[in-house]
């Protein structure tokens, strides 16, 4: 459990880093030539998103028993699904960040009429976000299925507090996307993930204490989705 606790804590720190960076001076630094991006978008794409990909990789290492389970046919299929998720997650973030900068810098974000601004809006809020959330789901679900089929950790009472605290931190990030975004893409993602993960947890044949990552994910998405629904409607 020590490694999982460390990875959950690093995930919480990455969530805090995302928040702090979005309110930092980097949003005011426009890069040259041609004012192509702000420092904010570059840090998001090259540093922060990289961190949020590396952490699930090490969780993959943990739930596959040091990658041993990837050697089976089912494990290979789940591994391919995880890599596909990484690709969509990173591609979606890149599309979102670049379109967001262009749309918010060069367009009237409330009353845009040009095809160019419409394209930027769609890439920012829909295409980029849909790929990003699709990738996040394809990265998460294989980890849960690996753990569900071959659990190796067991959460003691002292572990539950740490799991819940870190899950609450991540749930706050889910609320930020799902409750306050201009469109409903984040909310739909949160609700769908809540239903899928809760179903996988409730139908597991193993005791829930032996599924700490699944439990952590369930608390993250259930809490985040329910709060977002209350705030949104």
Q: Is the peptide bond before 33 cis (omega within 30 degrees of 0)?
A: yes
User: Which pLDDT score, from 0 to 100, does residue 206 have?
Assistant: 86
Work out the angle between the directed axes of helices 2-22 and 157-180 (0-180°, nearest 10): 30
User: Which pLDDT score, from 0 to 100, does residue 191 have?
Assistant: 98
Residues forming a β-bridge with 30? 38
User: Which pLDDT score, from 0 to 100, does residue 36 have?
Assistant: 95
> How confident is the model over 214-232, as pLDDT tens digits?
999 999 999 999 999 999 9
User: Which pLDDT score, from 0 to 100, does residue 155 have?
Assistant: 84
- Please name the residues in contact with 63: beta carbons below 8 A apart, sequence gap of 6 or more: 69, 143, 146, 147, 150, 152, 213
Tracing tokens 């950790």 back to the chain, one arrives at 153
Regions of the chain short of the pLDDT cut 50: none
User: Which pLDDT score, from 0 to 100, does residue 85 have?
Assistant: 98
Which residue, among 129, 108, 125, has the nearest Cα to 182 in the 3D structure? Answer: 125
User: Which pLDDT score, from 0 to 100, does residue 217 have?
Assistant: 98
Token reading at 133: 């959330």
């Amino acid at each position: 459990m020590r490694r999982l606790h460390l990875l959950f804590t690093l995930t919480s720190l990455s969530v805090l880093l995302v928040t702090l960076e979005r309110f930092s001076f980097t949003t005011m630094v426009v890069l040259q030539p041609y004012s192509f991006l702000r420092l904010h978008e570059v840090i998001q794409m090259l540093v922060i998103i990289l961190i949020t990909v590396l952490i699930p990789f090490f969780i993959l290492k943990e739930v596959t028993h040091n990658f041993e389970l990837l050697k089976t046919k089912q494990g290979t299929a789940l591994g391919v699904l995880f890599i596909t998720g990484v690709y969509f997650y990173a591609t979606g973030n890149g599309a979102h960040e670049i379109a967001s900068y262009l749309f918010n810098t060069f367009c009237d974000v409330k009353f845009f009429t040009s095809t160019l601004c419409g394209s930027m809006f769609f890439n920012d809020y829909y295409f980029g976000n849909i790929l990003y959330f699709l990738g996040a789901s394809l990265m998460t679900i294989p980890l849960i299925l690996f753990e569900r089929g071959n659990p190796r950790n067991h959460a003691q009472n002292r572990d539950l507090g740490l799991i819940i605290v870190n899950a609450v931190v991540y749930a706050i990030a889910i609320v930020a996307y799902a409750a306050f975004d201009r469109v409903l893409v984040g909310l739909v993602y949160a609700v769908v993930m809540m239903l899928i993960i809760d179903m996988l947890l409730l139908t597991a044949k193993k005791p829930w204490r032996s599924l700490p990552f699944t439990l952590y994910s369930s608390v993250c998405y259930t809490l985040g989705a329910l709060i977002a629904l209350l705030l949104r409607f």
